[in-house]
Amino acid sequence: MDKKAKDILFKTYWSAAGWKTIRNTNPEEFEYAKSMGLMFDPLSITKPELISRLDNIANSISLKIITDAFLSSLTNKRLDWRSGLGSYANARRTLTNASTLDYYYDYGANKDLNVLNFERIKWGGVRHSYALYNLLDLELLRNEKVTCPTNDDISIFQGILNTIYGSAPGDTPGKLRDNLKSLLKFSKDETHMLMEILGSAEIIRPLRFDRKEPGKHDWTFITLWRGEDGYDRQKVNFYFGNYGLI
């Protein structure tokens, strides 16, 4: 990833104080970042166009690219690579679910893809439940030269699964995030999003929906998960069986 282009993208949206309220990019810098594939002109897209492109990428991108990218991200810190697993799972779910609300497609005029790419690179994505984000995420990942995961990557992911399996029955997502801290040594936001990606892939998923939702939280996919739910071994086998993960 080109460092200069990344810096241009980041300073458009982020400062030491957090999100910028005024977002301006020098035109010459914008053109440079665009030439490096990190910034984009506003996109206008209809729902049928979005569905067509999403169907194409979800059914043509190699599952091995998705899983190699996710596992490799555990040590190489390419959070944008990590994001693809969540987008792949949500894209396929959206394409087969006729009841998905238009809101979650996020189509329309002059859509800002740059803020989506900023979130993708900084945190591993935020909007995995939105089809437009899934489309951008997967189309960009397809162009990457993804490396094969190392033994360390595989060991770390097995450690994540072991930590989930070892959860106390009443553990909440927040408690699991705390339990993963010593293993991952990621920031809180990074660990949070890693868990949400696993939630989108239904590796972490609630088995009951009659539980009380916390009054204040920022979970999307795993709000009602509890430690007694563990993780879905069939989903782990589907995505990661070739790596010996269980």
Alpha-carbon dihedral angle through residues 155, 201, 72, 120, given to the nearest 10 degrees? -140
Which of 131, 120, 138 lies closest to 79, judged by CA?
120
Chain center to CA of 1: 18
Confidence (pLDDT) at 212: 85
With b for 16 or more beta-carbon neighbours within 10 A and e for fewer, the 135-152 pattern comes to bbbbebbeeeebeebeee
Q: What is the rounded average pLDDT for all residues in the chain?
A: 95
Q: Is 59 exposed, middle or buried (0-12, 13-18, 19+ CB in 10 A)?
A: exposed
Confidence (pLDDT) at 213: 84
In angstroms, the Cα distances linking 66 to 37, 57, 80, 148, 240 are 20, 12, 11, 11, 10
* Token couple for 171: 């553990």
102 contacts: CB under 8 Å, gap ≥ 6:
47
- Per-residue pLDDT reduced to its tens digit, 118-143: 999 999 999 999 999 999 999 999 99
* Mean pLDDT, rounded, for 89-110: 94
Which of 197, 29, 70, 45 lies closest to 136, judged by CA?
45
Confidence (pLDDT) at 24: 86
Confidence (pLDDT) at 116: 98
pLDDT at 214 > cutoff 80: no
Which DSSP state fits 45? E
Confidence (pLDDT) at 85: 98
* Mean pLDDT, rounded, for 30-38: 96
* pLDDT classification of 22: cutoffs 50, 70, 90: confident
* pLDDT classification of 49: cutoffs 50, 70, 90: very high
* pLDDT classification of 93: cutoffs 50, 70, 90: very high
pLDDT at 186 > cutoff 80: yes
Q: Where are the domains of the chain?
A: 3-142, 151-243
pTM, whole model, 2 decimals?
Answer: 0.93
* Token couple for 196: 């949400």
